[in-house]
Structure 1
Amino acid sequence: MKIVKFQTSTKDQWGVLDGETIRSIEGDPFNGIDINDETHSLSDVTLLAPISPLNKVPAIAANYGVRDDRDGPGIFMKQPGTYQRHEGNIVFPRSCKTVIHEAEVGIVISKVARHIDEKNALDYVFGYTCVNDVSARETVDISSYPERPEIGAGITMRWKHYDTFCPIGPHIETEINDPDNLDIECLVNGKLSASGNTRDMLFNIPKLVSWVSEVMTLYPGDIIPSGCPETAEINIGDKVEVKVEQIGTLSNTVIEDY
């Protein structure tokens, strides 16, 4: 089932996408999917990022490549101003020189989760979506603070927090056969820029949900981006597409700051 958040001329609401038709639901989908009689044509509405600004996005760092005997991955937050919709614009900050894409699978939480065991973690997953964890690479320079790495780490968090730096969507897919075996691609102007598969993650989806729930309470609608296999630069004017098997394509255009 494809769950969308969308905007009509009068309000924002949630619905179930069936082909080119959206069937509206009462309230949000995390309290049960109660479909009403209201329908909309997909072409007549604007799809929104399938997340509330009140929800959080604890993103995963360094989940591909070399494990280095770590117990778990890094965690950082994407602030609500980063959330962007499918076909919305990614703003290239005027203070930055190098911006990169990071195509990821987003894990959508279904119910309150705290201190969750790995074996039960998937019981707390509502579905999955596409995420682009856009980052401003050149703002990262921990080496400037060799004696105080915590200062460097704190300063570098700005590279993740620029407005529009977390496109999400276009919908939430609730029916995934094996979330730990999904192909991920990122296309820039129609050309393959990065690719990978979630089977290559150092920490799988149950581990990620459990790991994050040990740090913070997760609530329905929170989204955990699971890390990216590869990155590459994007520039003003680029069309950036995140494609995830069984989910769909998240498309955004990079524009100049204003």
Structure 2
Amino acid sequence: MKLVRYGPPGREQPGLIDGQNRLRSLRDVVRDIGPDVYAPQGQRALRKLDVEALPLVRGKPRLGVPFVGIGKFIAIGLNYRDHAAEARLPIPSEPIVFNKWTTCISGPSDPIEQPPHSTRLDWEVELGVVIGRQARYVPVGEALAHVAGYCAVHDVSERQFQFERGSQWDKSKGCDSFGPVGPWLVTADELPDPQSLDLWLDVNGRRMQSGNTRDMIFSVAQIVSYLSHFMTLRPGDLIATGTPAGVGMGQKPPRYLQPGDLVELGIQGLGCQRQTVLASARKVAQDAAGLVLATKT
């Protein structure tokens, strides 16, 4: 199943994409696409529906984040060998774990807002993993049974924040609009092998990233198992699993996003995203430490 939420921000309605790629309403079936819906029991109930009897949604409404209930947004760094090489960093011996704040989450075609003091805005296409069953100390061989489904994630990053302001990845990855998710939540039964998916990203029509999840250093199963030994994973938790080579900081010379740029990305079977970069409408004179920032909007 391809589960979606559609409509204006804050007023999204539940839906699904049928076999002919048409949007159908689930408004009369479920209140929203929450953990009770994409948990195993909820998925079983949806599979019993007569999809052809569900109302078709007319027009092309905005698609929002395809599910709610995201308690944690966890990300894995340097999980493709070619990306670690372009970053001139060693291959990790264990997964590198950081957080993306849930306030960064946006719909798959919502704009990316460049922070007012941003100078190195970068792109990263990633496979997202959605937890459907609580996972705690889970063996690798049982990890995928705890996955509800998969989605595309854009791990927007600010490299100056990441490497020149205390080397704290979290604050470079969690700004507002830095986490587009969707367009769909594809249930795990439709993607039995998450390690064979092509993924790509274009900037202004130019192909910048092209990879396959088979090239991950740590597989989805390994990541879910690993994380479950450091935290309890709950239904709705979202994991971004790393990006292949081709990010802006890896270009020669480096190339970063500017207002007006168009970013398009997709993952095999998981749909496509499309975002325009906007300049921030806000002006910042000082940072949290009281240091003057030279910013222009």
TM-score after normalising by structure 2: 0.77
Alignment deviations for residues 41-98 of structure 1 (CA, whole Å, 9 cap, x no partner): 1635331112436521111111112695744211111111110102101001110111
Who is 1:128 aligned against? Answer: 150
Decide whether the 8 Å contact of 2:124 with 2:156 is kept in 1. yes
Deviation at 1:184, TM superposition (A): 0.9
For the pair 1:30 / 2:38, whether they are aligned, the reply is yes
| Pair 1:95-2:112 in alignment | no
Per the alignment, do residues 26 and 196 of structure 1 end up closer, same or farther by CA in structure 2, a change over 3 Å counting?
same
Alignment of 1:1-258 (within 5 A): 1-7=1-7, 11-18=11-18, 19-24=21-26, 25-27=29-31, 28=34, 29-31=37-39, 32-33=42-43, 34-35=45-46, 39-41=55-57, 43=59, 45-52=61-68, 54-65=70-81, 70-141=92-163, 152-154=166-168, 156-174=169-187, 175-230=190-245, 231-232=247-248, 233-258=256-281
**What letter is aligned with 2:101?**
Q
**Residues 108 and 238 (structure 1 numbering): CA distance in 2 closer, same or farther, change over 3 Å?**
same
Secondary structure at 2:59 match in 1: helix
Larger relative contact order, structure 1 or 2 (CA cutoff 8 Å, min sep 6): 1
Paired residues of 1:51 and 1:222 also in contact (CA < 8 A)? no
Deviation at 1:104, TM superposition (A): 0.5
Deviation at residue 21 of structure 1 after TM alignment: 2.5
TM-superposed CA distance for 1:39, in Å, is: 2.5
RMSD: 2.3
Q: Is the 8 A contact 1:20 1:42 kept in 2?
A: no
Computing the radius of gyration over CA atoms, which structure comes out larger, 1 or 2? 2
165-174 or 47-56, which deviates more: 47-56
Q: Secondary structure of 2:242's partner?
A: coil
Q: Which ranges of 4 or more aligned residues in structure 1 deviate by more than 6 Å?
A: none
Identity of aligned residues (%): 32
Q: Secondary structure at 2:124's aligned position in 1?
A: strand
> Could you tell me which amino acid in structure 2 is paired with residue 83 of structure 1?
I
Consecutive unaligned residues of structure 2, counting only runs of 5 or more, are: 249-255, 282-297
**Range with bigger deviation, 7-16 or 59-68:** 7-16
Note the residue ranges of structure 1 that are not aligned, 5 or more in a row: 145-151
Q: Are the aligned partners of 1:8 and 1:44 in contact in 2 as well (CA < 8 Å)? A: no
Relative to structure 1, the CA distance from residue 215 to residue 162 in structure 2 (aligned partners, 3 Å threshold; closer, same or farther) is same
Note closer, same or farther for the CA distance 1:54–1:180 as it changes in structure 2 (3 Å cut).
Answer: closer
| SS of the residue 2:224 aligns to | helix
Name whichever structure is richer in strand by fraction: 1
**Native 8 Å contact 2:129 2:151 kept in 1:** yes
Aligned residue pair count: 249
- The residue aligned with 1:147 is none
